[in-house]
Chain A
């Protein structure tokens, strides 16, 4: 069965290319949500194999989304990779005490993106 990946990021163009680039080389099914709340809803319904989650978003931000995902039975086991535009968020990610599998600093090259996704999905096999 093809893996399902949910991208939660307010930057629509960014989502578009991540989707294009991943679909071009794999059979992942990619779903996009441009708002945190919407993302949580979709995650509960679709149960993706992986969530790519942006930190800085208007409305509820990535940390809050992560908290709600990890605090809900239905979504708690889904691995999450955070997107950030600042490397200092690494410290925040750690300090938040919330568990995410990995993080990616934007802008990201395809090879890195793919490698990180593969690694997280492989770990879950």
Chain B
């Protein structure tokens, strides 16, 4: 297992070096020492250590407590305080930053070891709990949205029917008389159909449709999506390259749904490259985890050289209706649906991106 990384923050060099040595003896890695609060924040951000061992009283402007509160809230890294004297006032202030432990100087190696281990363990558990909570909230939200949308669909679709019927009637009667009227009616019609697309999008996941799975090769699926794509959108100056796995991989999927997923991902890639670029599609197999090297997953990767996604947006990507393309008819259901479909196949969709460099979407599916 990889050694846990610990950042030591201590303004007395000799003490710091001593702690570093003792930590290394206990089997931890100390990638750096920070001698001030400011430096600690910077190093924590760059190194992303597993834990920060922080002297409460630092000489410079920023106290250890201030530095700790920034590090724990901004980077979610657990803090263990080091202090020579534990006066109540300091401890009270330190408590606010919700530290994972205190070590009072002088201390034994054994103490150091157990307090750090407990802190690491507590932090991992907290993270797991938070994740589980979020997933629960997300799934409850979805279920509520599902009930809501299927109930409301009928109510919306009926008036849409009237608007569409009405505008088509006007179109028939008036479009010869005036070009502006024709344009206006055309816009009404288009908007009506767009509203309808949204409602239908909602309905699709309101109703968890049963999977009609078949055993197919991911490479065939990719090729089929690409040939479908050619009919629907001009690729202009976008190059598409495929690197297929040499070995025969099979996946068990609902083909229609998977085509929809790939189609959405490819459309996003194309839309991210208005001035052209390259799409690289790869299929390969990957070990399920570093612990079980005999279990494999199938990965289908779609990489583009487009505008990329900002860090902020990267977090919101899978929320329903999140879109940055509102002015270009974006609905913001593409990735939401794609992820849901992947999850329904006991797989996942992950997206990684660098702004102005490009985006990589990976569909991960169990091999069959």
Q: How far is the CB of A75 from chain B (nearest CB, A)?
A: 25
- Cβ-defined partner of A107 (8 Å) among B161, B169, B172: B161
A21 touching B157 by the CB < 8 A rule? no
A14 touching B168 by the CB < 8 A rule? no
A85 touching B157 by the CB < 8 A rule? yes
Contact of A107 with B160 at beta-carbon distance under 8 Å, contacts A20-B169, A88-B207 already known = yes
Distance of A17 Cα from B159 Cα, bound (Å): 12
- Cβ-defined partner of B161 (8 Å) among A11, A24, A25: A11
Q: Is B166 an interface residue (CB 8 A)?
A: yes
Q: Is A108 an interface residue (CB 8 A)?
A: yes
- Cβ-defined partner of A17 (8 Å) among B153, B169, B203, B207: B169
A86 touching B153 by the CB < 8 A rule? yes
Give the number of A-B contacts (CB < 8 Å). Answer: 65
Q: How far is the CB of B156 from chain A (nearest CB, A)?
A: 8
B-side interface mostly: helix
* B-chain residues with CB within 8 Å of residue A108 when the two chains form the complex: 161, 164-165
Distance of A13 Cα from B364 Cα, bound (Å): 49
Distance of A106 Cα from B158 Cα, bound (Å): 7
* B-chain residues with CB within 8 Å of residue A11 when the two chains form the complex: 158, 161-162
A14 touching B162 by the CB < 8 A rule? yes
Contact of A107 with B153 at beta-carbon distance under 8 Å, contacts A21-B169, A88-B203 already known = no
Q: Is B254 an interface residue (CB 8 A)?
A: no
Q: Is B192 an interface residue (CB 8 A)?
A: yes
Q: Is A46 an interface residue (CB 8 A)?
A: no
Interface residues as binary, A3-45 with B (CB distance below 8 Å gives 1, 0 otherwise): 0000000010110111011001100000000000000000000
Interface residues as binary, B155-194 with A (CB distance below 8 Å gives 1, 0 otherwise): 0011011111110110011000000000000000000110
Interface residues as binary, A77-90 with B (CB distance below 8 Å gives 1, 0 otherwise): 00000000111100
Distance of A56 Cα from B162 Cα, bound (Å): 15
Distance of A82 Cα from B299 Cα, bound (Å): 44
Q: Please give me the residue from chain A that is nearest to B156 by CB atom.
A: A85
Q: Is B200 an interface residue (CB 8 A)?
A: yes
Q: Is B243 an interface residue (CB 8 A)?
A: no
* B-chain residues with CB within 8 Å of residue A21 when the two chains form the complex: 165, 168-169, 172
Distance of A13 Cα from B150 Cα, bound (Å): 23
Interface residues as binary, A102-125 with B (CB distance below 8 Å gives 1, 0 otherwise): 000111111000000000000000
Q: Please give me the residue from chain B that is nearest to A10 by CB atom.
A: B158
List the 10 shortest-distance A-B pairs measured between CB atoms, nearest first.
Answer: A17-B165, A85-B157, A106-B161, A107-B161, A107-B164, A107-B160, A85-B154, A13-B162, A110-B168, A20-B169
A-B contact pairs, 13 of them (CB 8 A): A11-B161, A17-B166, A17-B168, A20-B169, A21-B168, A24-B172, A85-B153, A85-B161, A86-B150, A86-B154, A107-B164, A107-B192, A108-B164
Using a CB–CB cutoff of 8 Å, the interface residues on chain A facing chain B are 11, 13-14, 16-18, 20-21, 24-25, 56, 85-88, 105-110
